[in-house]
Amino acid sequence: MRRLLLILGGFAGLIVVLFVWWIASQPDRGTTGEVSTKFRLLGPNDKIVIDAFDDPKVTGVACHLARAQTGGIKGGLGVAEDTSDASIACRQVGPIRISGSLRDGEQVFDERRSLIFKHLQVVRFHDRERNVLVYVAYSDRVIEGSPKNSISSVPVMPWPAGPATAQTPAP
């Protein structure tokens, strides 16, 4: 009996250590804001969270990702499975500089949506014919993903040199 209690205690300790490691490994993405969508009596409310991130290979592009976050007791502990709902908007915020070669379908953002199996991802494509970067946000799962997705496009254009100055015609 004592041996069984030691084994169960060791297993519970391992679970706690893994949970603390998982919470500590979550990157700080720079949350821009959040809005509550559903009141929960116990634990935090369900909400929409807006995160900002930059494309690691393309400077001058900023993306904002709005995603659903489940609250309640499971959500407060970080073990709830969040829905696949997400929306993305990417814009040129400065001169665009591409470092390295761009691969179509290259991952630029990844976040866990459940303890193990579900991820929210953003991948980038380069539409060379139109000279546009295309960002697609979607959720995948080990066994079955979701067809829910969101898309944003950023034209690769030269950044304006500054404010235009009015020219007065010569008399």
For all residues of the chain together, what is the average pLDDT? Answer: 81
Predicted local distance difference test score (pLDDT) of residue 120: 85
Q: What are the domain boundaries of the chain? A: 32-155
Distance CA 65, CA 120 (A): 10
The answer for 118, left when phi > 0, alpha when psi is -120 to 50, beta otherwise, is beta
How many helices and strands in the chain, by DSSP H and E?
A: 2, 8
Q: Residue 170: what pLDDT?
A: 47
100: three-class secondary structure by DSSP = coil
Query: For residue 143, is pLDDT > 70?
Result: no
- Residue 84: how many CB atoms within 10 A of its CB? 20
pLDDT at 16 over 50: yes
pLDDT, one tens digit per residue, over 21-63 is 555 555 555 678 888 888 888 888 889 999 999 999 999 999 9
Q: What is the pTM of this model?
A: 0.70
pLDDT of amino acid 19: 60
